[in-house]
């Protein structure tokens, strides 16, 4: 009798545990899935890849721009394609926020991808938010970086917020504490901060983002680099603001050059050099990735998946935009 009761209690406990687990697990419609378009449109991902490769071949800098577009989208209310929306009478969008205006680019490439995908899928099947996430991955691969499976099934936001973009995207003037705090507010760790910053192995920065370092005698920027950048970036504000300088010596190749530059005090942005400035865990991670290229590639891919999964709209929330620049009812 005792054994029978014991078995029944064990079964009941197991059933209760399973019920609690089911309650704690989001419904299938709320989960992202790397195979989301396998049946709905098998041509979707190959089409995105083709257009990205064409764009990057024509202008290698575009790879870094599409990667940055994804980062700036995800850090403002999640990866929802809101950064793509033009202003309307009802809201001022993210394109004109301080971190984005005259800086974030690649919108025309996203437009081309959307048109090509709609044609390949014979309808409006793939969200703009998913296109941004996949285009970032394909850009990294096109420039020699690691591939990874992008979780899919995001839907597109119906609104955007300039104020949220101004407040959510970390600035190139941030110190390590503010950078870590910004990433932590999105559920990302110090390691995620260091490894995702490694995306600056690609691309360029505008003079306005690093001018203050060049003419500050107390700054730690390598003197020879500072002197060379002064030719690109004059002292006077407004003079050459949009002139560009590479963020590492090989801006069109995904490699460990970014971390090697930080070790030599040659991080172009203040926020980059902050990762190797005060000792501690961040310094150790920079040293590790500078010496271990395979680990950087692996951890970068993993961190991109985590970032790409920030607060997506799924299920019936949001919409799938026909035009990535405007919501469907406008």
Residue 38 annotated in ligand binding: no
Distance separating alpha carbons of residues 272 and 243, to the nearest angstrom: 19
Residue 35 annotated in ligand binding: no
Distance separating alpha carbons of residues 251 and 292, to the nearest angstrom: 19
Residue 327 annotated in ligand binding: no
DSSP alpha helix (H) spans, the chain: 2-24, 44-58, 61-74, 107-121, 128-142, 162-168, 176-184, 190-197, 207-214, 223-230, 257-263, 270-273, 280-291, 293-308
Residue 86 annotated in ligand binding: no
Q: In the annotation, is 72 catalytic? A: yes
Residue 33 annotated in ligand binding: no
Residue 111 annotated in ligand binding: no
Residue 80 annotated in ligand binding: yes
Contact 241, 207 (CB under 8 A): yes
Is 299 buried (19+), middle (13-18) or exposed (0-12) by CB count in 10 A?
buried
Residue 73 annotated in ligand binding: yes
CA distances from 263 to 99, 212, 273 (A): 27, 21, 9
Q: Which one of 35, 72, 186, 270 is the catalytic residue?
A: 72
Residue 319 annotated in ligand binding: no
Residue 78 annotated in ligand binding: yes
Residue 186 annotated in ligand binding: no
Token pair recorded at residue 148: 């990874």
Handedness of CA 171, 176, 181, 183 (dihedral sign): positive
CA distances from 119 to 48, 123, 127 (A): 12, 7, 14
Contact 196, 71 (CB under 8 A): yes
Q: Which residues are annotated as a binding site for heme b?
A: 200
Annotated binding residues: 73, 76, 78, 80, 82, 94, 170, 200-201, 248, 255
* Binding site members for substrate: 170
Return binding residues for Ca(2+). 73, 76, 78, 80, 82, 94, 201, 248, 255
Catalytic residues: 72
């Amino acid at each position: 009798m005792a054994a029978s009761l014991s078995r029944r209690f064990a079964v009941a406990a197991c059933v209760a545990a399973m019920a609690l687990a089911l309650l704690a697990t989001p419904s299938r419609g709320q989960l992202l899935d790397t195979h989301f378009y396998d049946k709905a449109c098998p041509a979707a991902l190959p089409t995105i890849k083709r257009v990205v490769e064409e764009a990057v071949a024509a202008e290698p800098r575009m790879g870094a721009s599409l990667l940055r577009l994804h980062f700036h989208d995800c850090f403002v209310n999640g990866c929802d394609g809101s950064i793509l929306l033009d202003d309307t009478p009802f809201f001022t969008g993210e394109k004109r926020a301080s971190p984005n205006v005259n800086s974030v680019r690649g919108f025309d490439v996203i437009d081309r991808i959307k048109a090509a995908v709609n044609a390949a899928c014979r309808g409006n099947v793939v969200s703009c938010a998913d296109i941004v996430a996949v285009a970032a991955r394909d850009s990294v691969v096109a420039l020699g970086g690691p591939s990874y499976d992008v979780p899919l099934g995001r839907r597109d936001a119906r609104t955007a917020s300039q104020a949220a973009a101004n407040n959510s995207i970390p600035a190139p003037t941030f110190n390590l504490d503010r950078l870590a705090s910004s990433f932590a507010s999105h559920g990302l760790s110090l390691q995620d901060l260091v490894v995702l910053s490694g995306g600056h192995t690609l691309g360029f920065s505008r003079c306005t983002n690093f001018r203050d370092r060049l003419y500050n005698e107390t700054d730690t920027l390598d003197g020879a680099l500072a002197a060379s950048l002064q030719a690109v970036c004059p002292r006077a504000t407004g003079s050459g603001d949009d002139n560009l300088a590479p963020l590492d010596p090989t801006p069109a190749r995904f490699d460990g050059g970014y971390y090697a530059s930080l070790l030599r005090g040659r991080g172009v942005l203040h926020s980059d050099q902050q990762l190797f400035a005060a000792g501690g865990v961040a310094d150790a991670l920079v040293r590790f990735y500078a010496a271990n290229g395979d680990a950087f590639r692996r951890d970068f891919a993993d961190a991109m998946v985590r970032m790409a999964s920030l607060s997506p709209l799924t299920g019936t929330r949001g919409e799938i935009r026909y035009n990535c620049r405007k919501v469907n009812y406008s």
